[in-house]
Structure 1
C-alpha cells in the first residue's frame, strides 16, 4: 500500500518508517511511503486556526490530488504565560517565516521578566490520516501544479479521517543552548530527560539532545505513534 506524506522533507519519511517498523514489525514492509514533494505537489495555504485543522487540511490536499491515503502533521510551541502563543504562528512569530534565530530572540525578549517556575511550555503536534475511497469515478485528477486551498474536504465525502495529538512538555530557558534540531529547540528544555542527563544534573535542551533522544520523547513521535492503529487498519 502506498501512502503519501504531505511534506517536502524526506527526513520525515525516515522517522515515520522507523515508527511503523517499531509498531508493526514485518507488516511495515507492506507500506510504501512517498513524499508530496517527490510527486511535485505544492504546499496548500494553511488557513486553519488549530494544529488539528491545518494537519487535516494538508492531508486532504494530498489525498484529493493523488487518490491515495495521505499523512500530514502540523506542530508548534505553546507558552503558558503567553496565552498559548505562539501556537500555529510559531514558524513566523517574528514576522519572517522560518527565521529560527529571530523567532527565538523575540520570544525570549517577550518573557524576559518571567520567573523560571512560570516559563512552562509545550510542543504540540497534530497528525492526520486521510484515506479516500478507492473509486476512480470519485477521485479527483492528479494536478501537481495546483496550489488551491483545500480545507472543506470536497471530493472526500466518504474518506476515512483520523486526527491525533502528541505533546512534549518543558520549560523555556533564558538563553539558547545546543546546535541540533531546529525552531525553538535551543531554548526548550523538555521535562523528560535522558537518564544520563538526570544522573549528571546537566539537563538538556532539545537542541542538545541526539536525534534518537529527542525522537523518543518528541511531540511528533507521540502523535505519529498514535496514528499507527489507523494506518494498520488500512492494510
Structure 2
C-alpha cells in the first residue's frame, strides 16, 4: 500500500512547492483540503519548535504522517527579528506589505544589512516519531522593494551571490537556493525511509 503524507499547510503556493520537491516519492500527498487540519497556535520560540508543534498536532489529529514547516526572516541589525514573528511582525493582521515596510523602517540608514531566511521542516508520525531539519538562505536587505514573484519579504531580500531579489527570480531558480527548498530536500530521504515502515500507514 502506498503511504499517505499530509502537507500540513493551507498556503496553496507552499503546497505546490512541496509537491514539486517531493515528486517521485512513492507517497500519496494530501493537502489541507483532504483532511481536517487542527488550528495550532505557534507558541514556540524557534522555527523548529513551531514546525514540530504543527506537524505533531496534525499527525495526532488525522492519524497520518504529516509534514509542516515554520519559516521567516532574521535580520542581524535587528537582533534576529522578525524571526518567528515574521508573519505577524507589524500586527496580528498578517499583512505582508506592512511587515516588509516595518523591516525597512527599522533598518533605515543601514547599508545593505545582512539577513537570512530560515526554514525548519518537521515530519511527524502518529506513533510520535519526529524528524526536523533546517535550511538557510543568506542575503541582504535591499530597498526599494523589487519584484512581484514570491510573497512576504521576498521583494526586499537579495540572496547572497545574486543580483535579483527573491521576488524577481523565476520560481524554479528561487526554489533551487531557497531555505524551504534546502530544508525539504534534506527531509526528503528521511521521509522515504520513515514511511517505508508499517507505522506510516496510519
> 1:207: which partner in 2?
167
> 2:95: which partner in 1?
99
Of structures 1 and 2, the larger Rg is shown by 1
> 1:145: which partner in 2?
none
> 1:168: which partner in 2?
137
> 2:200: which partner in 1?
none
Q: CA deviation digits over 1:177-197, x for unaligned, max 9?
A: 11111000000000143xxxx
Structure 2's unaligned 5+ residue stretches are 197-202
- Cα distance change on mapping 1:103 and 1:79 into 2, 3 Å: same
Moved more, 173-182 or 50-59: 173-182
**What is the CA–CA distance in structure 1 between the aligned matches of 2:40 and 2:54, rounded to whole Å?**
6
SS for the counterpart of 1:127 is: strand
> 2:157: which partner in 1?
188
- Cα distance change on mapping 1:45 and 1:111 into 2, 3 Å: same
SS for the counterpart of 2:22 is: helix
**What is the CA–CA distance in structure 2 between the aligned matches of 1:161 and 1:81, rounded to whole Å?**
33
> 2:4: which partner in 1?
2
> 1:216: which partner in 2?
176
Q: C-alpha root-mean-square deviation of aligned residues, in Å?
A: 1.3
Residues 1-235 of structure 1: pairs in structure 2 closer than 5 A: 1-21=3-23, 25=24, 28=25, 30-116=26-112, 119-133=113-127, 159-193=128-162, 203-233=163-193, 234-235=195-196
- Cα distance change on mapping 1:224 and 1:192 into 2, 3 Å: farther
CA contact (8 A) 1:176 1:186 kept: yes
CA contact (8 A) 2:155 2:167 kept: yes
After TM superposition, give the deviation of residue 17 of structure 1 in Å: 2.5
After TM superposition, give the deviation of residue 169 of structure 1 in Å: 0.5
After TM superposition, give the deviation of residue 222 of structure 1 in Å: 0.4
CA contact (8 A) 1:69 1:129 kept: yes
CA contact (8 A) 1:56 1:163 kept: yes
SS for the counterpart of 2:77 is: helix
Q: CA deviation digits over 1:109-142, x for unaligned, max 9?
A: 11111123xx000000000001123xxxxxxxxx
Q: How many aligned residue pairs are there?
A: 193
Which portions of structure 1, spanning 4 or more consecutive aligned residues, are displaced by more than 6 angstroms? none
**What is the CA–CA distance in structure 2 between the aligned matches of 1:211 and 1:69, rounded to whole Å?**
27
